[in-house]
């Protein structure tokens, strides 16, 4: 029986010294840490292997690497945060060392931006390729990386926005780009017919697909106007010089054409080739839209196909009159919120934003979003030169050079909560003077923006220290 002290607590002998400590010699500097800290780098990391070395080896392991960067990475393993001393090193230096130790995933998690919130986003970088710096097309990747086409070249920037490589294609100008495989880009051009596939890891051309029809001599030299993809398919819109167009469905594992959708001919607005394609993973449908601006203003259409049957399941034409719910105010741009199954359009004359529930489409499904806050800047000058992009349940709108976001919030009406969209400005006045916004696309927790005749692609991120709330 253990003896009992006067204070009522058992007189238990202290625990033996812990064997969890370990010493490392990195570049001549000694570091003392714990085995559990090193093992937190992951079972496949070099540090975990060192932590599990035989116990009879008492001498510190010598690692011929930079001790100052190792100190940063050790702090990362201890606290899951990057210390302020990391500012002395570039992102690439930190990444290279993390790769050596096998803890790149921990570094990536700590260096990733905060969850993208449009009301607290700001420009953190402007990526400018070394040659032909004006972006002709780009595509954002889920991990926050981006592939930028400039002229006939493609530059790849990884998750920490470091330049991973540039390769030249056989084309003079790339106008469409989509990630078909992890290291393969599907590209289209207005300087050459066909859909082209390039492996950027080896910088090599791996194939080209053409739209052909031996029974119709009008089908030749078809150029690609838009590209989208699903986990197993690539969709490409083709247009011929004689205005015939269609969408080809391609098996991305064999690069063989599976089927043809929406073949049409003619010069009217309702027969234009789609300029934007979106695949809906929830329902498996393909949404295409086309917009043109001529002497009589804007005209366009939205069409939804079922690729399995090849039929059109819904469509609307907006020539500026007739079926448009707002007479003479047709769409200027369209995009789809995949997470919420909501389609947005910008009206070309009023500049109003309208939304339609893809699960309740009818003859006129549009609900026009109104702004109740009178202090918001007046945008009644119109919606010409406007673009819309949906990402992370937010609708980002570029009007001329300004950038705004429509976010979903809860509004209480008659005591009942109601989900509504509210508008906030993402940019400052000086940001809006950078140039006309041409394209917006989200990837990871970043927003990428390109402008007319302006070099580079802007990178927008949100702050970890934001306390902002939507303006109601």
Q: CA-CA distances (angstroms) from residue 322 to 251, 290, 328?
A: 39, 17, 8
Within a domain: 6: no
Q: Is the Cβ–Cβ distance between 180 and 252 less than 8 Å? A: yes
- Give percent of the chain above pLDDT 90: 67
Which residues constitute the domain of residue 305? Answer: 118-462
64/174 same-domain check: no
- Cα gap 466→472, rounded to integer Å: 17
Q: What is the CATH number of the domain that holds 345?
A: 2.130.10.10
Within a domain: 471: no
The one-character DSSP state at 134 is B
- Cα gap 230→234, rounded to integer Å: 6
CA angle 415, 341, 331 (to 5 degrees): 100
327/405 same-domain check: yes
Residues 334-353 have pLDDT tens digits of 999 999 999 999 999 889 99
- Cα gap 198→169, rounded to integer Å: 8
Return the higher-pLDDT residue of 374 and 316.
316
Q: Is the Cβ–Cβ distance between 311 and 305 less than 8 Å? A: yes
Q: Hey, how many other C-beta atoms are within 10 angstroms of the C-beta on 190?
A: 16
The one-character DSSP state at 271 is G
Residues 248-303 have pLDDT tens digits of 999 999 999 999 999 999 888 889 999 999 999 999 999 999 999 877 788 999 99
> What pLDDT, on the 0 to 100 scale, is given for residue 385?
86
Which residue in 91, 74, 92 sits closest to 83, CA to CA? 74
Return the higher-pLDDT residue of 416 and 248.
248
213/149 same-domain check: yes
271/293 same-domain check: yes
59/128 same-domain check: no
Q: In the listed set 47, 82, 111, which residue is the last one of a domain according to the structure?
A: 111
How many separate domains does the chain show?
2
- Host H or E run for residue 190: none
Residue matched to tokens 């029809």: 213
Q: What is the CATH number of the domain that holds 45?
A: 3.30.710.10
Q: In the listed set 111, 142, 157, which residue is the last one of a domain according to the structure?
A: 111
User: Confidence band (pLDDT; 50, 70, 90) for 121?
Assistant: very high
Helices (H), 46-90: 46-51, 67-79
Beta strands 437-443 and 416-425 are: unpaired
The one-character DSSP state at 83 is -
- Cα gap 225→220, rounded to integer Å: 15
Residue 215 tokens, joined: 């029974």
Length of the chain: 472
Residues 182-235 have pLDDT tens digits of 999 999 999 899 999 999 888 899 999 999 999 999 999 999 999 999 999 999
Q: What is the DSSP string of 287-308?
A: EEEEEEEETTEEEEEEEEEETT
Within a domain: 187: yes
Q: CB-based burial of residue 304 (10 Å sphere; 0-12 exposed, 13-18 middle, 19+ buried)?
A: buried
76/143 same-domain check: no
Residue 377 has pLDDT above 90, yes or no: no
The three-state (H, E, C) secondary structure of 195-210, written as one string: EEEEECCCCEEEEEEC
Within a domain: 468: no
Residue matched to tokens 């509004």: 411
Residue 19 tokens, joined: 């064997």
**Confidence (pTM):** 0.86
146/220 same-domain check: yes
Within a domain: 56: yes
234/174 same-domain check: yes
Which residue in 164, 165, 137 sits closest to 151, CA to CA? 137
Q: In the listed set 111, 127, 156, which residue is the last one of a domain according to the structure?
A: 111
Which residue in 155, 159, 152 sits closest to 174, CA to CA? 152
Q: What is the DSSP string of 400-423?
A: TTEEEEEEEEEEEETTEEEEEEEE
Within a domain: 5: no
104/126 same-domain check: no
273/405 same-domain check: yes
Within a domain: 92: yes
Residue 127 has pLDDT above 80, yes or no: yes
288/376 same-domain check: yes
69/138 same-domain check: no
Which range is most confident: 17-21, 83-87, 232-236? 232-236
Within a domain: 1: no
């Amino acid at each position: 029986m253990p003896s009992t002290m006067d204070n009522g607590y058992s007189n238990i002998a202290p625990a033996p010294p812990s064997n969890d400590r370990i010493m490392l010699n990195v570049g001549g500097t000694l570091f003392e840490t714990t085995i559990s800290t090193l093992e937190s780098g992951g079972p496949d990391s070099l540090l975990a292997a060192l932590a599990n070395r035989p116990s009879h080896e008492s001498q510190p392991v010598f690692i011929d690497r930079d001790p100052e960067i190792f100190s940063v990475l050790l702090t990362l393993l201890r606290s899951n945060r990057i210390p302020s001393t990391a500012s002395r090193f570039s992102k690439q230096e930190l990444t290279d060392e993390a790769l050596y130790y096998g803890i790149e995933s921990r570094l990536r998690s700590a260096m990733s931006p905060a969850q993208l919130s449009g009301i607290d986003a700001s420009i953190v970088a402007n990526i400018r390729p070394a040659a032909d710096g004006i972006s002709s097309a780009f595509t954002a990747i889920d991990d926050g990386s981006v592939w930028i086409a400039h002229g006939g070249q493609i530059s790849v920037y990884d998750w920490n926005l470091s330049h991973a490589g540039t390769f030249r294609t056989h084309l003079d100008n790339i106008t469409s780009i989509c990630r078909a495989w992890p290291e393969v880009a599907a590209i289209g051009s207005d300087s050459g017919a066909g859909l082209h596939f390039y492996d950027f890891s080896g910088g090599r051309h791996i194939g080209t697909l053409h739209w052909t029809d031996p029974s119709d001599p009008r089908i030749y030299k078809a150029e690609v106007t838009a590209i989208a993809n699903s986990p197993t398919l690539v969709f490409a819109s083709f247009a011929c010089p004689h205005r015939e167009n269609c969408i080809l469905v391609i098996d991305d594992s064999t690069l063989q054409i599976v089927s043809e959708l929406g073949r049409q001919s003619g010069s009217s607005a309702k027969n234009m080739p789609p300029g934007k394609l979106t695949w809906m993973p929830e329902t498996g449908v393909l949404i295409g839209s086309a917009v043109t601006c001529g002497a009589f203003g804007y005209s366009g259409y939205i069409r939804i196909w079922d690729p399995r049957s090849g039929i059109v399941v819904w469509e609307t034409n907006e020539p500026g009159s007739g079926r448009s719910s707002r007479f003479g105010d047709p769409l200027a741009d369209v995009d789809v919120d995949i997470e919420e199954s909501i389609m947005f359009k910008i009206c070309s004359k009023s500049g109003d934003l309208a939304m339609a529930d893809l699960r309740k489409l009818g003859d006129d499904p549009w609900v026009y979003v109104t702004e109740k806050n009178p202090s918001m800047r007046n945008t009644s000058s119109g919606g010409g030169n406007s673009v819309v992009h949906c990402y992370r349940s937010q609708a980002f709108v570029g009007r001329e050079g300004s950038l705004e976001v429509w976010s979903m919030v809860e509004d209480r009406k008659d005591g009942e909560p109601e989900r509504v969209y509210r508008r906030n400005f993402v940019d400052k006045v000086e940001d809006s003077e950078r140039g006309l916004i041409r394209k917006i696309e989200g990837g990871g927790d970043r927003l990428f923006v390109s402008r007319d005749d302006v070099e580079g692609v802007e990178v927008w991120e949100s702050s970890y220290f934001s306390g902002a709330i939507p303006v109601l």
